[in-house]
Chains A and B, each alone.
Chain A
């Protein structure tokens, strides 16, 4: 008997939502039939339709000539500023700031390098080793002596 039992299938929430907006397409008939017999889905659709109707009734501003004039003035100002001759041609203006940035960074880089060279003598391999090898040897010897003394 179970296999003959009629299945009760609610439309999906997307279908119900689309039904409220009249963008239901092919499911319109099926959804309408279902709503006629299913109080739960019907209540849901009615709730969404009520809200839709309420939001559509939110007050709209009155046309304002003052606002139009304000926008016109602003647009006129923009037009005016675009007509004024520029101090430099557009191609130069476009490349001026990136080139200046590049030149400044190069100057900083070479300047720092030059300063470094004048401030300290150029490092050599011998100088590098002589800086820490004797100290390390001394520390190692001291540690060894301590170990012997403890024993």
Chain B
């Protein structure tokens, strides 16, 4: 538990005792992170705003049930993912972009991704191409990939967020990675591998 987590816990205790206005602190602290997660889950910034607002409201309503056995932010992420799943279930149950469409329309941006310098922020078109990769994945694949690679959670944290075992986390992550390997062969390769391929 970090200092941040302990601070969250103290705020939650105060909220439970009736100081409900304290919840705004938690909203301010995590809103950007939650909107980012929802945006990548839904690939739609307007829907992501609604989803993150809904997630905060659900968290507020059930704050009395928060036991504190995991950091508050992970609990919040779990709620946000469930909200996103509900929204996706209502709107579109399955991937909205086909892999063929993704390869055809974003080939340039996907190829350019591997050569991006690491010290600059990602250009818009490349970010869009990456989000399209996420759109081509199912919700379950997307959630595990985002929690690991975008949120940077450990396997233990992902397991507690998604209420599954660590082995299941490992297996699911490996399957998503292999799927992207299969579907986007020759894209998203490190420069060294690309040069070897070209020599061949």
Contact = CB atoms under 8 A, between A and B. Distances in A.
A5 interface: no
Interface of chain B: mostly helix, strand, loop or mixed: helix
Is the interface on chain B under 10, 10 to 19, 20 to 34, or 35 or more residues? Answer: 35 or more
B177 interface: yes
Interface string B41-71: 0000100010011001100110000000000
A51 B196 CA distance: 18
Given A43-B193, A70-B53, A51 B180 contact: yes
A60 B193 contact: no
B190 interface: yes
B32 A78 contact: no
Given A67-B31, A71-B56, A47 B127 contact: no
Closest 10 CB pairs of A and B: A55-B149, A17-B174, A60-B36, A23-B155, A46-B190, A63-B32, A61-B35, A52-B149, A50-B190, A13-B174
Interface of A: 13-14, 16-18, 20-21, 23, 43-44, 46-65, 67-68, 70-72, 74-75, 78-79
Interface of B: 20, 23-24, 27-28, 31-33, 35-36, 39-40, 45, 49, 52-53, 56-57, 60-61, 113-114, 116, 118, 121-122, 127, 130-131, 145-146, 148-150, 152, 154-155, 170-171, 173-174, 177-178, 180-181, 188-190, 192-193, 196
